[in-house]
Amino acid sequence: MFVFLWATQAGLVAFREMGLIGVKPNAVTVLMILHACSESRDLNSGSIHHRDVHDEIE
Q: Supply φ then ψ for residue 9, to 5 degrees.
A: -65, -40
Task: Give the number of domains in the chain.
Answer: 1
Per-residue model confidence (pLDDT) at position 5: 52
Per-residue model confidence (pLDDT) at position 16: 84
CA–CA dist 24, 4 (Å, integer): 20
Per-residue model confidence (pLDDT) at position 21: 95
Which range of residues forms the domain containing residue 53? 3-57
Do 23 and 30 meet the contact criterion of CB atoms below 8 Å apart? no
The pTM for the full model equals 0.64
CA–CA dist 1, 6 (Å, integer): 9
Do 2 and 14 meet the contact criterion of CB atoms below 8 Å apart? yes
In the chain, which residues have pLDDT < 70?
A: 1-6, 54, 56-58
Per-residue model confidence (pLDDT) at position 9: 76
